[in-house]
Structure 1
């Protein structure tokens, strides 16, 4: 369980194809503070630490994870948002995030807006009913507030802090991102028989 508040930007330092894919991740987290078996959100994808390295860790992505997320696109040098799992008693600064990607979106546009930016994303049809104005959505693991939504897109406003402390500042129109709907919306949709 996560909050969508990014605490580090890591980097993929190696990609090893196996029966899925192993990735070596570099981070400013102290490796000694990251236990084997720890769950860490990697740009919104919950992956398990399987081995320590000098300046990070190794994770394994299954074929299903590769098929359903942007992990299959990551290469050596790819920068990724990182968040350690939530502990009981931690402040919930964003919203509750599983680290289970619901779908992929594409950045349609990035436009300056005041001191920040307005980003518009494509929205898969099966997620549209779970996205609401003033509701929460995780984009590459970042907890964001939805400012507008249509049947096939949504937009958010990014403040300068978020722009500078996440990988959103690296993004361009056409880039693909991981999307996770708010878990409350997911359960409401399930109860209404819509998912």
Structure 2
């Protein structure tokens, strides 16, 4: 359960306030000061921006969106658009937190469903046509298109055999193998001469 905390408790020691509060099942919420907005830290290439971990390829205007709003460099609509664009660069949880509360995060350009293109992860730069289609709906739709294309090709081949004003009807060539007559057949290396 998330609970707003008093600003006086921001300076409390973790052992006397934060850890007991977390042990009780509460998640405290605090505001950041103006000088704490933007990039707040980094770890293994990931950037901590306004309390959330992001990919290092997040554009600079998205990093400074809240600071720019408070410094009156942008209006509220522009700020909303920039903040709404951030989730594509947010690091995703890879697994549930362990017993210490540590959590492993996955870059948005990694994994099976990348949400951002990153030059560090070349697979995220691949075009969508080379990626595997996932999900029943997508695979069913792809199968429907393949069947429609096969039917269209077969109908076009059939229409080519019909009689027109300038050319008579023609028979399509058969693809079947025509076997030799049994009377003419002899095994290999067998001579019929005495």
TM range (shorter): under 0.3
Give the strand-richer structure, 1 or 2: 1
TM value normalised by structure 2 = 0.19
Task: For CA contacts below 8 A with separation 6 or more, give which structure has more relative contact order.
Answer: 1
Give the helix-richer structure, 1 or 2: 2
